[in-house]
């Protein structure tokens, strides 16, 4: 049956990419309940960041600020978005640098959170080394090429990231006290 449908589409001139559907992240609601944010993967290398109201879209930006598997949080005014990246690729040593004390932590100098405005412009970012001390970095789950660092996600026990009533994003990196990001 599928082969018949695929052949029919090819005969009609439909490209294989037309068979792919848009894939969206889970929409997350702002602390005041007025807005929700999500990203939509519309094709290879094409994404759309969307801020929605109950009545429909408020704004969207054709920009890839993360994947559908990342966590998106909307501000109470619907103008800004924090993105948490629970699974990040390990960092690499800076080219041309000699090994010095602390250079073996290059894997941890990765961006794990970023704030964006309605145009998709990055306003600020946080790196793992800004959220954790060298001793605490031992708690990070290292895979072959990626890191898992955020409690309550990807099978790591703990409370998941959340927005407070005041619109502050709270989360716990593994082995660390609660961190807070404000809009």
How far is 46 from 23, CA to CA, in rounded Å?
A: 11
User: What residue spans define the domains of the chain?
Assistant: 20-178
Q: What is the pTM of this model?
A: 0.83
| Residue 3: per-residue pLDDT | 38
| Residue 131 burial (10 A CB sphere; 0-12, 13-18, 19+) | buried
Binned average pLDDT, 10 residues per bin, the chain of 183 residues? 39 44 90 96 93 95 96 97 97 66 79 97 97 94 96 96 96 95 97
| Residue 133: per-residue pLDDT | 93
SS3 state at 84: strand
| Residue 93: per-residue pLDDT | 72
CB 175 within 8 A of CB 157: no
Partners of 114 in the β-ladder: 83, 125
| Residue 7: per-residue pLDDT | 35
SS3 state at 125: strand
- The answer for residues whose C-beta is within 8 angstroms of residue 109's C-beta and 6 or more apart is 91, 127, 128, 129
How far is 3 from 8, CA to CA, in rounded Å?
A: 8
- Residue 117: CB atoms within 10 A of its CB come to 15
């Amino acid at each position: 049956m599928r082969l018949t449908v695929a052949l029919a589409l090819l005969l009609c001139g439909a490209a294989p990419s037309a068979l792919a559907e848009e894939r969206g992240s889970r929409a997350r609601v702002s602390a005041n309940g007025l807005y929700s944010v999500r990203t939509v993967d519309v094709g290879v290398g094409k994404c759309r960041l969307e801020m929605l109201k109950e009545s429909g879209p408020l704004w969207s930006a054709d920009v890839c600020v993360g994947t559908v598997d990342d966590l998106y949080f909307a501000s109470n005014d619907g103008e800004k978005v924090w993105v948490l990246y629970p699974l990040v690729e390990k960092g690499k040593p800076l080219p041309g640098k000699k090994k010095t004390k602390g250079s073996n932590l290059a894997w941890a100098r990765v961006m794990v959170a970023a704030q964006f405005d309605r145009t998709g412009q990055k306003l600020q970012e946080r790196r793992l080394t800004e959220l954790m001390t060298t001793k605490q970095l031992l708690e990070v789950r290292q895979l072959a090429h990626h890191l898992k660092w955020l409690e309550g996600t990807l099978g790591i026990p703990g409370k998941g990231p959340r927005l407070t009533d005041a619109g502050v994003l709270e989360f716990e990196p593994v082995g660390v006290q609660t961190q807070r990001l404000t809009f």
